[in-house]
């Protein structure tokens, strides 16, 4: 209960700071940090479930991205990540009675999400994580809670005239190890020369210094990188896959998955999901919250 009150007063402080002005960037940071989550004060879960264990512990470990503006970006001042994925994780934690400040954030890059779930390094992963059958062999997914699509980012003015994946033939394109977009290029566009890093911010650096002609991954990740590029990059804007984002949980934990799906549906209903979007990815892209996707209770 103490932590709940503490969270509420922190939120009020955030509002006050925002109202007092300050730099625009500062205000944005306040907005993202100012989660409007209502932490449950009394929770009651069946003994032996993951929910009961986490609620009892009063903390949980969440894997997310640390270098993706709008979804999961580490704020060096607070040393915590900010973004839509981070807000989704906070909503789930709040239903377990866990306040945002009691979440331990672990950086998961694209390639280590399944192993981190498999070996228990994280309790769940919320990290622009596409639901697919290959991954479902190893872990399970709640959601989807968002639908992205693979797209391409190029230098401003599009000097190479890249309008879609077919135009990547003979070009140097950057993506990330262990990601669905990298796999798609390997499988379906083998004439592209693929450069792989562990995180997308390194692809952005490679595009900036001319080492590659293009970067490919989900449109919403690229939108965040374009927004941070000071006009150096642009999005082709022609998505060519479907990337439903799920919340990764350990394989076989059907109760935890069902609980997260319930929480997502409640957040759709209450407006908390749309509010989280507006304060994070929506604020960066200028795009209104879309209709949330139906969760898939497979």
- Give the residue carrying structure tokens 């009063």: 58
Which one of 179, 216, 280, 285 is in contact with ligand GLU (CB under 6 A)? Answer: 179
129 counts as binding ligand GLU under rule CB under 6 A: yes
CB of 108 to ligand GLU, least distance (A): 9
Number of residues that bind ligand GLU (CB under 6 A): 13
Q: Restricting to residues 226-285, name those near ligand GLU by CB under 6 A.
A: 243
218 is an interface residue for ligand GLU by CB under 6 A: yes
54: nearest Cα among 114, 86, 105, 94: 94
- Choice from 106, 128, 184, 261 touching ligand GLU (CB under 6 A): 128
Distances (CA, A) of 26 to 23, 31, 120, 135, 226: 5, 9, 35, 38, 20
CB 141 within 8 A of CB 246: yes
Choice from 50, 201, 216, 217 touching ligand GLU (CB under 6 A): 217
Closest approach, Cβ 246 to ligand GLU, in A, equals: 9
CB-count exposure of residue 17 (10 Å: 0-12, 13-18, 19+): middle
Instruction: By CB under 6 A, name the one of 180, 223, 261, 285 that touches ligand GLU.
Output: 180
23 contact partners, CB below 8 Å, separation of at least 6: none
Distance separating alpha carbons of residues 197 and 217, to the nearest angstrom: 12
Interhelix angle 272-279/84-95, nearest 10 degrees: 150
DSSP letter at 294 equals: P
Cβ of residue 221: shortest distance to ligand GLU, in angstroms?
6
Q: Which phi and psi (to 5°) does residue 88 adopt?
A: -60, -45
Q: Output the smallest distance, CB 219 to ligand GLU, in A.
A: 10
- Which segment (14-22, 151-159, 173-181, 251-259) binds ligand GLU by CB under 6 A? 173-181
Nearer to ligand GLU, 39 or 207 (CB): 207
Is residue 197 part of the contact set for ligand GLU (CB under 6 A)? no
Q: Which of 83, 181, 224, 282 binds ligand GLU (CB under 6 A)?
A: 181
The phi and psi torsions of 174 (rounded to 5 degrees) equal -105, 140
Instruction: State the residues that interact with ligand GLU by CB under 6 A.
Output: 110, 127-130, 176, 179-181, 217-218, 221, 243
């Amino acid at each position: 209960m103490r932590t709940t009150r503490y969270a509420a007063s922190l939120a009020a402080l955030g509002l006050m700071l925002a109202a007092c002005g300050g730099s625009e960037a500062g205000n944005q940071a306040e907005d993202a940090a100012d989660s409007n989550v209502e932490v449950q004060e009394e929770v009651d879960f069946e003994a032996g479930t993951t929910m009961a264990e986490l609620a009892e512990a009063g903390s949980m470990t969440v894997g997310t991205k640390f270098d993706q503006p709008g979804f999961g970006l580490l704020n060096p001042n607070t040393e915590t990540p900010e973004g839509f994925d981070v807000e989704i994780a906070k909503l789930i934690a709040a239903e377990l009675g866990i306040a945002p400040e009691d979440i331990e954030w672990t950086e998961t890059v694209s390639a280590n999400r399944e192993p981190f779930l498999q070996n228990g390094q994280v309790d769940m992963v919320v990290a622009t994580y596409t639901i697919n059958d290959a991954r479902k062999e190893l872990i399970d997914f709640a959601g989807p809670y968002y639908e992205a699509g693979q797209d391409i980012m190029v230098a401003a003015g599009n000097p190479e005239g890249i309008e879609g994946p077919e135009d990547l033939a003979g070009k140097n394109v950057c993506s990330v190890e262990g990601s669905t977009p990298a796999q798609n290029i390997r499988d379906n566009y083998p004439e592209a020369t693929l450069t792989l890093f562990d995180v997308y911010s390194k692809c952005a650096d490679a595009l900036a210094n001319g080492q590659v002609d293009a970067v490919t991954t989900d449109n919403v990740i690229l939108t965040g990188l374009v927004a941070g590029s000071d006009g150096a990059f642009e999005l082709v804007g022609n998505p060519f896959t479907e990337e439903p984002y799920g919340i990764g949980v350990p394989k076989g934990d059907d109760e935890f998955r069902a609980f997260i799906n319930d929480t997502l549906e409640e957040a759709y209903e209450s407006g908390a999901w749309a509010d989280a979007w507006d304060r994070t990815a929506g604020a960066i892209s200028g795009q209104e919250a879309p209709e949330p996707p139906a969760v898939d209770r497979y």
